[in-house]
Structure 1
Amino acid sequence: MSAIRNHRPLALATAWLATRALMLWLLAHDRLTLLGRGGVSREVHHLYFHWYGVLSQGAFPAGDRLWQYPPGAGPVLLAPGLLPRLTYFTAFVACTLVADAVIAVVLTRAGLRSGRSSRGAWLWVLGLPLLLHIPLARYDVQVTAFAVVSLLALSRRPRVCGAFAAMGALVKVWPALALIGTPRGRTTREVWTSAAVTAAALLAVLAAVFSGPFDFLRQQSGRGVQIESLGGTVLGFARHAGWPGTARYQYGAMEFVGPYTGAVAACSLALTVAAFALVLLWRVRARRWTTATPYDAALTAVLLFTVTSRVISPQYMVWLLGLAAVCLTSRHTTQRPVAALIVAATAVSSVVYPGLYGDVVHSTWTGCLLMLVRNGLLATAAGVSFVRLWRSGLSTAAPHRPAPAGRERGARRIPAGLRTRQ
């Protein structure tokens, strides 16, 4: 058994190197028709590089309708400039690969612990390439790294958990949801206090160093219904029923414009509020916590918010793959069927974009059916995820509460009966 465990990291490393080499090859050839004709890498070459130039002058892109990210995104986009002798694009891809490797390493280490599983590391290593080269040309891998490290640090270093969640939330808001399932009591107080202090300190520094750190709020509020969202799928089919709307590039994405788009956007926001209420209700009602509960709750929350969002870009699948991988590191997770649905939705996403994106933009029957399948898989995953989380929290089985964080730092202080339940 120990020999098998010792070979897992080597096998995972070999698989990571092989799949990432393939992703790099795809990125180098992304001008091929089926790979988007250069559209995938264009965002880094032009948009990110433009923002890098603005940020280098000590200011956020004020008044830029495409800048819709919290101030923590600034340092992430500036980071490639720290690598000498590389173009911005090459350095950005290198930074993304480093973040990707960090995720693979922490998932592998988590899987080697007693009572844990290596399925999570395998899901990440083999699941990310399903998105082809898209993850290498977006900074969602970096954001996911913050969330993954945060969740895996919870059991032993709650303050580190809170700090990483806060850093991730300042880059893209969703990593804050990683804290929704922290065990009640001292652990939650430590984690949330650390997150609040870290966020406040970093915001103060960013506000002192850069001008216009909160301009993104004005741009975010103007977003409409992206064609790949759940509401966009409804409007896509509506075009075949005579709806006169069209798709237009605005706010950094293809969005529907025309009658009733405002109402669809409002419905999406209402569903997001309802999802937030459901997650809060679960937290209030839950009585049974396992070591997997924080992971499962984080995946459920992000799934619900993704499905109800006005925007479901293909790179959002990176978030879900990362959180599903964290869940699978625990043998107590309730989310195995959900992880399978996410993998299926990820595979369909790469067909949608960049493969047949023209069909989606023009709402052909092929494009509409593809979006129905992708978003149907995500909606099903969200429903199954919440139901399984809810049932596990209200289970009549004897509750299992993780040992206090301070007692997990030394094996001699952990009762023997708990060591195999990590």
Structure 2
Amino acid sequence: MKSATGSRTTVAAPLSPPLVKRIRKKHRLFLLGAGWLATRALMLWLLTHDQYPLLGRGGVAREVWKLYFHWYGVLRHGAFPSGDQLWQYPPGAGAVLLSPALVPGLTYFQAFVVLTLVTDAVIVLALARAGTRRGSTLLGAALWTAGLPLLLHIPLARYDVQVTAFAVISLLAVPRHARTSGVFAALGALVKVWPALALIGTPRGRTTRQAWTAALVTVVTLLAVVEALFRNPFDFLRQQGGRGVQIESLGGTVLMFARRAGWPVRTRYQYGAVEFVGPHVHLVAVGSLVLTGAAFALLLLWRLQNRRWTPATPYDAALTAVLLFTVTSRVISPQYMIWLVGLAAVCLTSRHTTQRPVALLLLAATAVSAVEYPAYYGEVVNSTWTGCVLMLARNGLLMSAAVVSLVRLWRSGHPLAERPETDASSWISDRIPAYFRTGGELPLNR
């Protein structure tokens, strides 16, 4: 093209859409990586300063350098803890507690934290990889990156990040590698039973047969190996059965308000947690078990009656299942939120998920959990009004999330039961994170 003066000017050709998308994808991945590094650095700083009152006066880190290290010493001699009320975990937990020996030159505590961060990085990479596939989004990786630090430094001093990694990988493997999914679900179940629920939403037919068969073979084989190599691998069953009502559970919240009203219950440290003891506390514990059984029945009924499987159904079903079992449990420790954030992140990797409002509720519950423990744990133990309100807020959010999760899962499998969504939570959850789903373009209409 010639200008008015006769000189020739060139017009740059516009970038092709695929190139624009690649640039945007790299930009989002860069932001994701930078966010992970910044938040994990903050978590490490909090862990090194956890002697402050609002950070637990050293109680969070003590779990690793004292209790885990004690069990490590027992396991190194070829035996699982016997008669130890605090040991309530399946045999696979022993492998996680022994793993710091693989990192030479560091103390047990340092090696444990390093391995936890490595596992955390594996999770975000797996979520990011899944989010870059066709029909997927990076919102799941963003949720995990931003959601885990809401628990402050707790995730670095518990082995729940490692357990969550098994469940995340198991779920992400369902569409393409059913047997691999079953193996990872089994490995997670051998560490902390709940990852077995990752298989509850596998599509009927070949996928379910392959995943469940692989899981069963893995469990039987590894239990046989553990039985041959270690002493007392199943002693944990006796300790788990003796647990009561932890103060942070749903039943514990009821007892907290009853205590404020004058009911003669008190708290005691036992089985590794602060639990309620006193008149009729046992009935509350039994009630929790009954509710857990009812939750299992609901999930079984859903699976039998579900009419439609979408790419997100296995993810959504796993989150619903773990949520139901969590809210009906006799124990809801703050680290349980790690599981739920991880499963919600898997759900949000798919554009077909029904669980976006649930993810928002879980983020709110996670933030309240960090306020309740470690900052105001003394208030919760003593059942002050502050402690009561904090537990009511956290467990109320979890209950709401469980109900919404189950309803939305059920409707997704029964198309005739679906109704137009007009609630504010769905509108907000569909639009605020749109940058990560659409490459920076906000959808104005559904």
Q: Percent identity?
A: 73
Deviation at 1:397, TM superposition (A): 9.5
Matched AA of 1:53: G
Secondary structure of the 1:2 match is helix
Over aligned residues, Cα RMSD in angstroms? 0.9
Partner residue of 1:11?
Answer: 31
State the alpha-carbon separation in 2 of the partners of residues 227 and 376 from structure 1: 15
State the alpha-carbon separation in 1 of the partners of residues 28 and 87 from structure 2: 42
Which residue, 92, 96, 99 being the options, matches 2:116? 96
Deviation at 1:114, TM superposition (A): 1.1
State the alpha-carbon separation in 1 of the partners of residues 92 and 229 from structure 2: 12
Bigger Cα displacement from structure 2, 21-30 vs 194-203? 194-203
Which residue, 142, 159, 163 being the options, matches 2:179? 159
Task: After superposition, give the CA deviation of every residue in 1:133-158 in whole Å (9 maximum; x if it has no partner).
Answer: 00000000000000000000111111
Partner residue of 1:217?
Answer: 237
Partner residue of 1:199?
Answer: 219
Partner residue of 1:238?
Answer: 258
State the alpha-carbon separation in 2 of the partners of residues 376 and 395 from structure 1: 29
Aligned residues: 398
Deviation at 1:396, TM superposition (A): 3.5
Secondary structure of the 2:329 match is coil
Partner residue of 1:34?
Answer: 54
TM-score under structure 2 normalisation? 0.89
Matched AA of 2:289: L
State the alpha-carbon separation in 2 of the partners of residues 258 and 192 from structure 1: 42
Partner residue of 1:257?
Answer: 277
**Which entry has the higher C-alpha Rg, 1 or 2?**
2
Structure 2: runs of 5+ lacking an equivalent: 1-20, 419-446
Asked if 1 retains the 8 angstrom alpha-carbon contact of 2:190 and 2:219, the reply is yes
Asked if 1 retains the 8 angstrom alpha-carbon contact of 2:319 and 2:343, the reply is yes
State the alpha-carbon separation in 2 of the partners of residues 288 and 142 from structure 1: 32
Deviation at 1:258, TM superposition (A): 0.5
Secondary structure of the 2:415 match is coil
Partner residue of 2:139?
Answer: 119
State the alpha-carbon separation in 2 of the partners of residues 36 and 233 from structure 1: 21
Matched AA of 1:222: G
State the alpha-carbon separation in 2 of the partners of residues 222 and 72 from structure 1: 21
Task: After superposition, give the CA deviation of every residue in 1:276-329 in whole Å (9 maximum; x if it has no partner).
Answer: 000000000000100000000000000000000000000000000000000000
The question of 1:383 aligning with 2:392 is answered no
State the alpha-carbon separation in 2 of the partners of residues 260 and 95 from structure 1: 43
Partner residue of 1:407?
Answer: none
State the alpha-carbon separation in 2 of the partners of residues 6 and 30 from structure 1: 36
The question of 1:339 aligning with 2:359 is answered yes
State the alpha-carbon separation in 1 of the partners of residues 234 and 259 from structure 2: 37
Bigger Cα displacement from structure 2, 26-35 vs 9-18? 9-18
How is 1:360-399 mapped onto 2 (pairs within 5 angstroms)?
A: 360-396=380-416
Partner residue of 1:228?
Answer: 248
Asked if 1 retains the 8 angstrom alpha-carbon contact of 2:139 and 2:345, the reply is yes
Task: After superposition, give the CA deviation of every residue in 1:39-64 in whole Å (9 maximum; x if it has no partner).
Answer: 00011011000000000000000110
Structure 1: runs of 5+ lacking an equivalent: 399-422
Matched AA of 2:413: G
